Chain A
Amino acid sequence: MWNLVDKSIVVFRKDFQLEFRTRYALNAIAMFALTTLAVISFSIGPIQLDTNILAPLLWVILFFSAMSGLSHIFVREEEQQTADTLRLVLPPNAIWLGKWLFNVILLFGLEIIIVPVYFAMMNTQVENLSIFFPSLILGSLGLASVSTIIAAIISIASSRGALFAVLAFPIALPILFSAINSTRLSMEGAPFMDSWSDLQVLLSFTIIIITTSLLVFEFVWKR
């Protein structure tokens, strides 16, 4: 067990150091998210939107930013032909967990930048932070899990960019539905228990996707 964790930490550190040198992935998804946000903000101008639209918009931005950058983690291994070495050195489970951890950190990094800007630009605020933070964190964990396994699937396919969103969207739907709903509740200042079932869905779905990914990843990874 600890052996597996240790090995996934190794994968994570390798990717993190590579990323730290170029900052390719973070730059790409942060710029993508900011551009999308700017487009939305310009196009609605001074109109004050209500929470039924604000909550979905935030998750639409997060979803497409994730789609633009989170596949990089596996695509890079194929493009730089480092995948085979990785295959020899480490077990598949450790590789998936390490890459997953990297994507989670990347998504959190993006949210630290984009969420405050979003609320500032949209001229709105969260009424109940005890719903908002759990739904944001659990939603990102889920989104990162879905992205990581789908990224592994598409890394050897052609026309990856378009395919990534097409494959990830139906799988990410439970996350989007629940996260949008609980984010809306948090903006409306609903009591915590109202969002309980949404948070439960987010948590259980994330766990299920991680378990399934660990079970099937070796079939994706082997050549």
Chain B
Amino acid sequence: MNLKNDWWKILLGLFLTGVIVAAFLYAPRAKALGETTRILFFHVPCAWVATLAFLISATYSILYLRKNEVRYDAWAYSSAHIGLIFTILATVSGAIWAKEIWNAYWNWDPRQTSIFILLLIYAAYFALRSAVEDEQSRARLAAVYSIIAFVTVPFLMFIVPRIYESLHPDPLINAQGKIKMDVKMRQVFFASLFGFTVMFLWMLRLKVQILLMERKLESQIVTER
């Protein structure tokens, strides 16, 4: 580690450690949730990063189709890859929380349904990538697919809550009666959100670097032969 360039990595590590400590010691508990309130500070940022990664992936897909440069495909692919990891983390942590508080790991409430669909889209994206041999076509087809998925998502955000309300009239979704988040909770929550976002950007940059380096090496090997 080089202190001159890597100071922000150390700072990020310290910052996230601080967030964890604050989540356990500083933030108050919501009245009905008890201790498990603290899961919120890690679970919601995961879901946030998963969504952000999906948006970034779609944006770079559009850029790739317009500019036709390999590095845009590398960004789109890397973002989707990290997004998949955070989607899985958000799903699993949400399921554990749901088991504790709703007494079932899975009950298809709108949010669980949405993240499940996101998981399906990511899975389909990677299935498509692995099924196309030619590199250029692979990048192009994957970009097209992620754009089509991108226009589908707003519809799902509109439909899913409505359908599940009408099929299961349970009190999971409620427009009125929002409880205001406590000031201290809000502080910790936004700090965590910020930390996770920076961490995501770091991972994204690393992953892109790896992909581009691999590609360069491969092309070198090919030309030497």
Partner-contacting stretch, out of B35-43, B77-85, B92-100, B120-128: B120-128
Chain A residue with the shortest CB-CB distance to B116: A170
Q: Is the CB of A177 within 8 A of B163?
A: yes
Q: Does B88 sit at the interface, judged by CB under 8 A?
A: no
Taking the closest CB of chain A, its distance from the CB of B87, in whole angstroms, is: 13
Given known A157-B128, A177-B159, contact A212–B151 (CB-CB < 8 A): yes
Judging by beta carbons under 8 Å apart, are B127 and A201 in contact?
no
B159 pairs with A170, CB closer than 8 A? no
Q: Which of B13-21, B135-143, B183-191 lies at the binding interface?
A: B135-143
Residue of B nearest to A205 (CB): B155
Residues of chain B within 8 A of A174, CB atoms compared = 152, 155-156, 159
Choose the segment among A15-23, A91-99, A105-113, A158-166 that binds chain B (4+ C-beta atoms closer than 8 Å): A158-166
- How many angstroms from the CA of A98 to the CA of B116 in the assembled complex? 34
A219 to B137 Cα, complex, angstroms: 9
Tell whether, in the assembled complex, residue A170 and residue B163 are in contact, meaning their CB atoms are under 8 Å apart.
Answer: no
Rounded to whole angstroms, the CA-CA distance of A154 and B137 in the bound complex is 11
By a CB distance below 8 angstroms, the chain B residues around A51 are none
A177 touches B160 (CB 8 A): yes
The listed residue (B65, B131, B158) touching A219 by CB distance below 8 A is: B65
**A181 CB within 8 Å of chain B:** yes
State the main secondary structure of chain A at its contact with B: helix
Per-position contact with B for A193-223: 1 when CB-CB < 8 Å, else 0?
0000100010011001100110010011001
Contacts of A173 in B (CB 8 A): 117, 152, 156
Q: Once the chains bind, are A220 and B148 in contact (CB under 8 Å)?
A: no
A156 contacts chain B at the CB level, 8 A cutoff: yes
Q: Does B132 contact A (CB under 8 A)?
A: yes
Q: Are A157 and B159 interface neighbours, CB within 8 A?
A: no
The answer to whether A216 and B127 touch (CB under 8 A), given A169-B120, A177-B159, A177-B163, is no
Chain A residues, CB < 8 A from B166: 181
The A-contacting residues of B in range 151-172, CB under 8 angstroms, are 151-152, 155-156, 158-160, 162-163, 166-167
1/0 contact string of A124-161 vs chain B (CB within 8 Å):
00000000000000000000000001100110111100
Cβ contact within 8 Å between A159 and B131? yes
Interface residues of A (CB under 8 A from B): 52, 149-150, 153-154, 156-159, 163, 166-167, 169-171, 173-174, 177-178, 181, 197, 201, 204-205, 208-209, 212-213, 216, 219-220, 223
